[in-house]
A and B are shown apart, each in its own frame.
Chain A
Amino acid sequence: MRPVWKENPSPGYQAIKAVVLGGFALAIVIPILVVISTSLASDEDIIDAGGYVLWPSHPTFKAYQTLFSGGLMGRAILVSVFVTLVGTAIALAVTIALAYATSRPVLFGRPVLLMVLFTLLFAPGIIPMFLVVKQLGLLDSLWSLILPGALGAFNFVVLRTFFMNVPGELLESARIDGASDFTILRRIIMPLSKAVIAVVGLFYAVGFWNAFFNALLYLNDTSKWPVQVILRTYVLQGKSLSADQLGVHPPPQPQSLQMAVVVVALVPIAMVYPFLQRHFTKGVITGAVKG
């Protein structure tokens, strides 16, 4: 709806706006579209188009069949799924517990809160981090991808801000009825904050799925590589996954196979994105900004 005081749009301004926003949107959509199309293209399509396909005229899932017929990529997907699911579960449990316990004026609440907020100010550095992970014997273990990411200060602040806004009278009355703090967290706080918890969980999940550098730093064993490292090694650096690693001879045009790897890294994000997009603008971000 146009406010009464606003001028009618001049065609010039309208055109500039359309070009800027449309151009920005196209620059995002086209590369993604080309990658998806090429992953679905047949060998002839790719040769005809000279490398990239805007629209596959003979769509085929051959590249995906090759990719999923075992070997390195299948394992990488399992690794990434494991790290994402277990990591998100642990991170959520740790963050919810800590955010709730520091959202009320309780014993040790203040110093513990300051302990968390200090992490926003200073980063410990790559080398000491590596030495600690090594000292704990976590090198070449998938736990090295999970445990160091188990508490994100931003997610903590979002949850704590939300928990603080739960009226104290509600908790007080539950306590009078004999509920313990555990019960209150489980039966009152968590049901009230389902949407926020879901969004924070998705933030964690996206983070675990996308993590690349931790794997590069802590894992030497190629059989434990997650999808992002495969993507880098195979597509970005152009090293070939040898035929026996892929399990099937002969591989299709590597171009479509490479693009299929890109799509595999992309799909889980694309799947959770609509949910994320619906919820994060409402409340979560604005809550964090105000808090």
Chain B
Amino acid sequence: MLKANSEKRQARNGLPLKAKWRRDWQMVLLMIPGVVFLLVFFYLPVLGNVVAFQDFQPFLGIMHSEWNGLQNFVNLYANPDFWDALRNTLVLAGVQLLLFFPVPIGLALIVDSLVSNRFRRWFQTIAYLPHFLSWVLVVTLFQQSLGGAGFVNNLLRQAGLDPIPFMTNPDTFPLLVVAQLIWKDAGWAMIIFLAALTTVDVSLYEAAAADGAGRWRRLWHITLPSLRTVIVLLLILRIGDILSVGFEQFILQRDSVGSGAAEVLDTFTYYAGVVGGDWSSGAAAGLAKGVVGALLLWGANSLAHRLGEPGIFQKRGAS
């Protein structure tokens, strides 16, 4: 089968360009809208990152603004706000990785162990829903529940207790952010682990049980090892994305907890550049973030290869 395919491909690739064009011109036409989209809304902006090396003035445009080398990055290095944003980003990413990442795995293990199919379906229906709600809606629901005038604090007041500033305390903000992330996405993230759990060979459990392994030993020696590939894959994706801790979530809550706690690299880029008019600093921060993110993704992927896991980008093509 594989051999036949490669022979066919060779035969097809062996054709002269003109014959290929005659055969494939309709397919090429079908690619055009997508390619135009990618050029205009992806590759053009990628090139637009050159403003990070310019003293960009909107009225002069990219062509006429002055080049200033690495000056913008030097300015960033000296800017305490940038370091605050970077620190917040790393702290939030760390907290998310530590507190969010295990939750869907745990939920999936519990759901998988349920015997009642009805209860299981019922739980899945509820748990997947929040993934499809917008961040504006999620933050609004949290505010209506936990905010100063929200119903939890209303209940506390009615019970004669002091209200708790869940939504506005900068010190507990990382925990709030993780709670929101768990509320919105832990159920959805569970799907992949559930799918992986269905592929575990049941006879392994049976054999282990016959050999006297209890439920925890089966979990440790059979279930978790069979989730390993998926866990590594998702960790890689998470690490590659670690500097994007959730842009809308922070922009929406920056007003209520203050920029000291909620400023991350993305919001820094937005407020410095688009709002503050310092386009070049914003672009420099954005570019630094993009490059570091790509390097992290690549690094994590190579590490996975070295550990003998498939990772996301295979060496030989992605098909």
List residues of chain A with CB under 8 Å of any chain B CB: 1-7, 9, 17, 20-21, 24-25, 27-32, 34-35, 50-52, 93-95, 97-98, 100-102, 104-109, 112-113, 115-117, 119, 121-132, 136, 147-148, 150-151, 164, 180-182, 185, 206, 209-213, 216-217, 228-229, 231-232, 235-237, 259, 262, 265-266, 269-270, 273, 276-277, 280-281, 285-286, 289
- The interface residues of chain A lying within 8 Å CB-to-CB of B124 are 277, 281
Q: Roughly how many angstroms separate A269 CA and B134 CA in the complex, as a whole number?
A: 10
* Inter-chain contact A3/B206, CB cutoff 8 Å: yes
Given A132-B41, A212-B136, A266-B133, A101:B282 Cβ within 8 A: no
Closest residue of chain B to A125 (Cβ to Cβ) is: B286
* Inter-chain contact A34/B191, CB cutoff 8 Å: no
Say if the beta carbon of B21 comes within 8 Å of chain A. yes
* Inter-chain contact B319/A164, CB cutoff 8 Å: yes
Closest residue of chain A to B34 (Cβ to Cβ) is: A98
* Inter-chain contact A289/B282, CB cutoff 8 Å: no
| Residue in contact with B134 in the complex, picked from A1, A117, A124, A265, CB distance below 8 Å | A265
| Residue in contact with B140 in the complex, picked from A24, A130, A182, A235, CB distance below 8 Å | A235
Q: Roughly how many angstroms separate A229 CA and B140 CA in the complex, as a whole number?
A: 12
B33 to chain A, nearest CB (A): 5
* Inter-chain contact B297/A97, CB cutoff 8 Å: no
| Residue in contact with A107 in the complex, picked from B28, B132, B158, B210, CB distance below 8 Å | B28
- Other than A32-B141, A132-B40, A289-B195, give 11 A-B pairs with Cβ distance below 8 A: A21-B110, A21-B123, A28-B127, A31-B142, A115-B35, A121-B298, A126-B282, A127-B51, A129-B48, A210-B133, A285-B192
In B247-300, the 8 Å CB interface with A consists of 247-248, 251-252, 255, 266, 269-270, 273-274, 279, 282-283, 286-287, 289-291, 293-294, 297-298
Question: Which among B214, B244, B282 has the greatest number of chain A C-beta atoms within 10 A?
Answer: B282
- The interface residues of chain A lying within 8 Å CB-to-CB of B44 are 128, 132
Given A98-B31, A236-B136, A213:B251 Cβ within 8 A: yes
Q: Roughly how many angstroms separate A93 CA and B287 CA in the complex, as a whole number?
A: 31
Query: What are 13 A-B pairs at a CB distance below 8 A?
Result: A3-B202, A21-B107, A34-B145, A51-B154, A52-B144, A102-B31, A116-B34, A126-B266, A127-B269, A129-B48, A130-B274, A147-B41, A273-B129
* Inter-chain contact B206/A5, CB cutoff 8 Å: yes
- The interface residues of chain B lying within 8 Å CB-to-CB of A6 are 209
* Inter-chain contact B134/A228, CB cutoff 8 Å: yes
Say if the beta carbon of B60 comes within 8 Å of chain A. no
Say if the beta carbon of B161 comes within 8 Å of chain A. no
B1 to chain A, nearest CB (A): 11
Given A20-B110, A124-B42, A97:B289 Cβ within 8 A: no
Say if the beta carbon of B24 comes within 8 Å of chain A. yes
* Inter-chain contact A115/B38, CB cutoff 8 Å: yes
Say if the beta carbon of B45 comes within 8 Å of chain A. yes
Q: Roughly how many angstroms separate A2 CA and B114 CA in the complex, as a whole number?
A: 9
- The interface residues of chain B lying within 8 Å CB-to-CB of A112 are 31, 34-35
| Residue in contact with A185 in the complex, picked from B30, B270, B294, CB distance below 8 Å | B30
Closest residue of chain B to A53 (Cβ to Cβ) is: B151
Given A51-B154, A107-B24, A231-B137, A126:B287 Cβ within 8 A: no
* Inter-chain contact B30/A98, CB cutoff 8 Å: yes
Question: Which among B47, B202, B274 has the greatest number of chain A C-beta atoms within 10 A?
Answer: B274
Q: Roughly how many angstroms separate A182 CA and B17 CA in the complex, as a whole number?
A: 21
* Inter-chain contact B31/A101, CB cutoff 8 Å: yes
B32 to chain A, nearest CB (A): 8
* Inter-chain contact B132/A132, CB cutoff 8 Å: no
* Inter-chain contact A27/B183, CB cutoff 8 Å: yes
